[in-house]
A and B are shown apart, each in its own frame.
Chain A
Amino acid sequence: MRDLKAVGKKFVHVMYPRKSSALLRDWDLWGPLVLCVSLALMLQGGSADSKDDGGPQFAEVFVIIWFGAVVITLNSKLLGGTISFFQSLCVLGYCVLPLTVAMLVCRLVLLAGAGTISFIIRLIVVVAMFGWSTLASTAFLADSQPPNRKALVVYPIFLFYFVISWMILTFTPQ
C-alpha cells in the first residue's frame, strides 16, 4: 500500500507540475513501467496493410521509450546536471502519463470512426498532451541544470516526446 500511494502521488504531481522534490527524492520505476506497458499494449493491433504488418510491435515501443530515456539522461549528465541516473529515468517515465491518456482518448475517438474530423480531434488532443508532457518534465529536469544550459536539455526531451506523439497520432486501428 505504501508503494502504491507513492506511485499515485507521483501521478498527481505529473498532472499538476509544480516544483516539488517528491518525484526526484524517492524515485521509483513502477509508474514508468506501468505506463510504458499500457502504451505499448494500446499501440498494438494497428491496421495491417496488404504490404506489411501494421503498428509498432510491443518490444519496439518498449525499447524506444527506454532507450530514448537513457539517452536523454546521459545527455543531461554530460551537460553537467546534478540529477542522478535513475531520478531522471523516473521523471521521464512518469511524464509519459499525459501521452498515455492521449492514446486512450485517440482509441475512443477512433471507435467512432476514422474521418477527417476524428483526425483533427486526435491531432489537437495529442499536441496538447505532448506540450503538457514536455512542460512537466522540463519543470522537474531543467532545475538540475546550470541556468544557461536549460535549452540544451529541453530540446532532446522535446524530440523524445515528439516521436512518441508521432507513434500515437499515426495509429490506425484494424
Chain B
Amino acid sequence: AAGPGPGPAGGGRSGAPATEWGGFEDNMQQGGGSAVIDMENMDDTSGSSFEDMGEMHQRMKEEEEEEEAEGEAGAGEEEDGEFLGMKGLRGQLGRQVADQMWQVGKRQASRAFSLYANIDILRPYFDVEPVQVRARLLESMIPVKMINFPQKIAGELYGPLMLVFTLVAILLHGMKTSDTIIREGTLMGTAIGTCFGYWLGVSSFMYFLAYLCNAQITMVQMLSLLGYGLFGHCITLFVTYNIHFHSLFYIFWLVVGGLSTLRMVAVLVSRTVGHTQRLILCGTLAALHMLFLLYLHFAYHKVVEGILDTLEGPNMPPFQRVARDIPVVPNAVLNTTAKAIALTL
C-alpha cells in the first residue's frame, strides 16, 4: 500500500514543477522513475520541525502504524514543498536537505519526549492530599517510640520543597526586620542557595553515610525526612525573627529543634542495625540539624546582635574607646606657621 499510494502523488508533483522551472528536469525524471525511493526520502521530511511534534511522538511510539504516518507525511511533505517554495525537492540537494531536516526533527522530538518523560518521573512524588501534608507536618515534631520496628517514611517531595521555599521567605523577612539596607538581590540568592544547599547537600551526605552504615533508606526518603525536619526550623525562625530575645531563641532551639531532631533520629535508628552505625548516623544528623538552625539565626542576625550588645551594659567589652581631644587651632595661626616653616627650609 505504501508504493502505489505515494506513486501517483509523486508523479503529480513532478508534473507541476516541470512546467514552471526546467532546472531539475533530469533529476525530475529520475525522481519520476524512482518514485518509491523518493517517497521514502520525502517521507523523511515528515519529521521536520514544520510538522506537529505530537505526530512525531506517535510515529516513534507505534511502529506498526508507519503506513498511516507515511500517508500523513505525504500530505505534510506537499505542504512543506509549497512552503519552502523549492519545487526541486526531488533533486539530490533536496534529498540531502530533507534527510538533514528529518534527523534534526527526530532529535528535537526525542529530546522533547525525554524532557516530558522526566516530569512524569517526578509525578508520583507529588501525589499528595492537603490533609496528608498537614498530618506529616505535625508528625515531624513527634518522636516515635518504637525503634525496633522500621518506621515508614513517605517518599514525598511536595512538602519538603514547599518547606524549603517557606524557609527562604522567612529568611528574607528576617533580614528585613533586622533593619539593614543590604543588597537585596544577592540576599535572595544567598538565602535560596543556603536553604537548597542544606536540603540537597546534607541529604546526599546522610544518604552516603546511610549507605556506609547499611541503613534501609532511599534517597527520596532521606530528602523527605530532612525536608520535613525543616518545619521546626521554620517555626523557630519565624517566631524569633519577630521577637528579639536571645533566651527565647535558645529555648526554641532546644525544644523545637530538639523534637524534630529526635523524630528524625528515631526514624533512622529504627532502620539501622548495630550500635556503632546508629551512633554515627544519628550523631551526624543531630549535629548538622541543630547547627544549621544556630547558623541561620546568628549569621542572619549579626546586625541585631551588635545593636543589642551595645545596649546591654554588662556585656560591653572591657576596652573602651576614648575620644582624643584635638586642640582647636585657628586657621590663621596654622597658615602663618606653615609659611614660616617654608621660608626657613
Q: Which residues of A contact B (CB under 8 A)?
A: 46-47, 49, 51-57, 60-61, 64, 74-75, 77-80, 148-149, 151-152, 155-156, 159, 162-163, 166-167, 169-170, 172
Residues of chain B within 8 A of A149, CB atoms compared? 129-130
A166 to B171, CA, bound (A): 12
B184 on interface, CB distance cutoff 8 Å: yes
Residues in chain B near residue A55, CB distance under 8 A: 183-185
A163 to B182, CA, bound (A): 16
Query: Measuring CB to CB, which residues of chain B are less than 8 angstroms from any residue of chain A?
Result: 119, 122-123, 125-130, 133, 158, 161-162, 165-166, 168-169, 172-173, 176, 180-186, 188-189
Query: When A166-B173, A166-B176 are in contact, do A78 and B185 touch as well, CB less than 8 Å?
Result: no
Question: How far is it, in angstroms, between the C-alpha of A56 and the C-alpha of B191 when the chains are bound?
Answer: 14
Q: Once the chains are docked, how many angstroms separate the CA of A80 from the CA of B125?
A: 12
- Tell whether, in the assembled complex, residue A159 and residue B185 are in contact, meaning their CB atoms are under 8 Å apart: no
Check B130 against A156 for contact (C-beta < 8 Å): no
Chain B residue nearest to A166 in the complex (CB): B172
Q: What chain A residues lie within 8 Å of B123 (beta carbons)?
A: 78, 80
Whether A60 touches B188, Cβ cut-off 8 Å, given contacts A148-B129, A163-B172, is yes
Q: Would A60 and B162 be within 8 Å (CB), given that A159-B169, A162-B169 are in contact? A: no
Chain A proximity of B113: nearest CB distance (Å): 15
In Å, the complex CA distance between A169 and B169 comes to 14
In the bound complex, what is the Cα–Cα distance between A163 and B167 (angstroms)? 12
Task: Tally A-B pairs: CB < 8 A.
Answer: 72
Other-chain contact of A52, B122, B126, B128, B182 (Cβ < 8 Å): B182
The answer, among B119, B133, B184, B188, for a CB contact under 8 Å with A152, is B133
Which of A46, A51, A77, A159 touches B184 (beta carbons < 8 Å)?
Answer: A46
Q: Please, which residue of chain A has its CB at the minimum distance from the CB of B176?
A: A170
A163 to B161, CA, bound (A): 16
Given A152-B158, A162-B169, A51 contacting B129 (CB threshold 8 A):
no
Known contacts A156-B165, A159-B169, A166-B176; A54/B183 CB under 8 A: yes
Contacts of A57 in B (CB 8 A): 185
Residues in B whose Cβ lies below 8 Å from that of A51? 182
7 A-B pairs with CB atoms under 8 Å apart are A54-B183, A56-B183, A80-B123, A156-B162, A163-B169, A169-B176, A172-B181
Enumerate chain B residues within 8 angstroms of A163, measured Cβ to Cβ.
Answer: 168-169, 172, 188
Q: How far is the CA of A56 from the CA of B186 in the complex (A)?
A: 8
CB neighbours of B181 from chain A (8 A) = 47, 49, 52, 54, 172
Chain A residue nearest to B130 (CB atoms) is A151
- B119, B169, B184, B188 pick with most chain A CB within 10 angstroms: B184
Asked whether, in the complex, the Cβ of A148 is within 8 Å of the Cβ of B130, the reply is yes
CA distance A70 to B189 in the complex (A): 17
A46 partner residues in chain B, CB cutoff 8 A: 184
B294 to chain A, nearest CB (A): 24
